[in-house]
Structure 1
Amino acid sequence: MQVQDAISADQARQNMRAVTQSPDEAIASISEAIREASTRHRGHTTIFLARDHIEIEDMNRIVAYFRKRGFTVEDRCQNRDTFALKISWYPAQRRGA
């Protein structure tokens, strides 16, 4: 089993800022995260985007981009620093089915 070293909260924030300079960069980074997670046979990944460079209109565009391609996108949280999205690539389970 491989163990990943933990990173500090400050380093995580810097990583978020590095990949969210624009909506197009965010889409490219999210696509890469999905490719990486799908090789591990996970059905979803959670993405955190810094609000420093992403506005709500940009977030809506990002969500629409992935939904148009068949992904399920759930808004996990929004605070003054970040947006968090859960992006799934398996069909959503219907409740009561």
Structure 2
Amino acid sequence: MNINGIEFEFDSTDYLHMEKFEQAIDKMGETEKGLSELKGSAFIKGSVKMLADFFEDATGVKVLDGVTSYTKAQDCYYQLLDEVKRQKDTISAKYNPKRLR
């Protein structure tokens, strides 16, 4: 997978990868609660850091190293979510009851 010019592996069928991903999502949810009180640049900085921490926790890679734009950080996050969904859909399709007939 390549996000923000950084190549790394993420396999949503590997339970070790998914455990890290789920823990990172939970941590991000806790961090997000505190961000709602921030304004302006502090909110942006906190949000970018939250997403950078998410990537490092979930993948072990600093995907957002040097990123200062919340929009760019969010786009990278959505790319990962889209890839996880694509991988899950691929696996689910293999076990679709219609396919097994």
TM-score normalised to the size of structure 1?
Answer: 0.31
From the two aligned structures, give the one with the greater strand fraction.
1
TM-score normalised to the size of structure 2?
Answer: 0.30
From the two aligned structures, give the one with the greater helix fraction.
2
- Max radius of gyration: which structure? 2
